[in-house]
Homo-oligomer: A and B are copies of this chain.
Amino acid sequence: HQTVGPMAGTISPSAPVWVVENKAFGNRAFCRQVEGNQQFGDYSDQALQGLRMWRDVWAPTMRKALHTIGGLDLKPIISQALQMGDELHNRQTASSSLFANAMAVAMALTDLPNKGEMVGTLKYVTNHQMIFLGLSMAAGKAIADPACDIEYSTIVTAMCRNGVEFGIRVSGMGEEWFTAPAPVLDGLYMPGYSAKDAGLDIGDSSITETVGWGGFVLGGAPGILSLVGGTPEEALAYSREMLKITVTTHPTYRMPALDFMGTPIGIDIRRVIQTSITPIIDSAIAHRDPGYPKIGAGLLRAPLDCFKKALIAFSRKYSTN
């Protein structure tokens, strides 16, 4: 369904989703609400209440406001946020704030007779520092999808994890997944948790790295290092390293800390194999058991085996022998 979800976040038929349209190619992609409980496997009543509020109040109010203004362009928000320390995978402080301001105006222009719901939604959107993650994930999916199914293309069109396996898709290989065991994250833990509590890498949010955000722009987002660990110099080095496995840099999305270098985009499985450099991803750490909130965040490398398997299959498919 061209849909992505954060962590173990399920999407039921009645759940409103973010809808992002790629106007250049006419495709749409979707992502569910980002919250801190049910998407980590917590089914307590308090966790489900957050989903009900989203379904009954926050999403309908925002939907009405978005219709008033005829939708909202995400590119200006994303390009600004990348110059304000967001990497759009685990840090959305700037993009969420910019998005909230646009929503505040849209809501003010909309006839919302239930003032309590209007104020509640405005407080929700202006105080949710990760609200833009649902939008950056859907935007990543909307950007990547038109690159799928291009004959001979060795570009990665998806990377995702389910807590057991890590999988990638490659443009010239259609819908086939190339998988390897999901890695352990190297990161920092919230008080009371440690590496022995950690589950393996999970969630669709690495669609952001697939389009050159997240770990790929860590050099421009040093604020996240207090969450994932490491030094500013290491973060800058990751962003420069990703140039070696991508085919270009983005003309609009730029990082001031790297002299306004464009974000590295278009992971090429041939370059990954030639260099043995795999994509760097920064991600949240879920508990190995359900019912806990986010217990930490850290860095990981996409497994090299996914890329090896993909290149071997690619060679077989396109071999002219």
- Hey, which bits of chain A sit against chain B, CB under 8 A? 80, 83-85, 93-94, 97-98, 100-102, 104-105, 108-109, 118-119, 122-123, 126-127, 222-226, 231-232, 256-260
Bound complex: CA A97 to CA B84 (Å): 11
Q: Which of the residues B80, B122, B225 comes within 8 Å of A256, measured between beta carbons?
A: B225
In the assembled complex, which residues on chain B have CB atoms less than 8 Å from the CB atom of A101?
97, 100-101, 104, 126-127
Per DSSP, chain A at the interface is helix
A70 → B minimal CB distance (Å): 16
Bound complex: CA A105 to CA B104 (Å): 8
* Interface contact B94-A122, CB-CB below 8 Å: no
* Interface contact B256-A223, CB-CB below 8 Å: yes
In the assembled complex, which residues on chain B have CB atoms less than 8 Å from the CB atom of A83?
85, 93, 223
In the assembled complex, which residues on chain B have CB atoms less than 8 Å from the CB atom of A97?
94, 97-98, 101
* Interface contact A223-B84, CB-CB below 8 Å: yes
Q: Which 4 A-B pairs have the closest CB atoms?
A: A104-B104, A222-B256, A101-B126, A223-B256
Bound complex: CA A260 to CA B257 (Å): 15
